[in-house]
Amino acid sequence: MKVNRLPLRAWLLGLALGATACGPTIGDACTDSKECGAGVCVMKDYTPGGACSLPCVIGGAECPAGTICVRDAIARGQPGCMKSCKSQSYCRDGYVCKIEKDSETPICVGPAGI
């Protein structure tokens, strides 16, 4: 009987990918930063129900795939990663898909905007 074993590197990669697939993601609802892992919970009019975010630098590459760094997203003068969208179906209830704060890509944000 032949036993098929994954190389250690492939196993570790699978473990790492599995770990990042779980837990909070940018744009998830929150009421406290503890719910956002290493991120912050943004509780503003433009984030109905709260939204997990990460601090970032405009033009930097810190935001995860599917998100974009947006000026004033965390607070005035504090950019943050926000969920990007191609259409309304990408956004949670209570959010709209639109360009905000000169972002290159539309984001999911409350109807009043940032």
| Mean of pLDDT values over 46-62 | 90
Quote the tokens at residue 63: 């935001």
Tell me which residue range forms the domain holding 17: 8-109
Distance CA 75, CA 7 (A): 46
Distance CA 8, CA 89 (A): 39
Distance CA 92, CA 109 (A): 9
Give the chain's domain count: 1
Does residue 3 form part of some domain?
A: no
| Mean of pLDDT values over 17-35 | 76
Spatial CA neighbour of 71 closest among 61, 81, 63 = 81
Q: What is the pTM of this model?
A: 0.76
Does residue 62 form part of some domain?
A: yes
| Mean of pLDDT values over 68-81 | 93
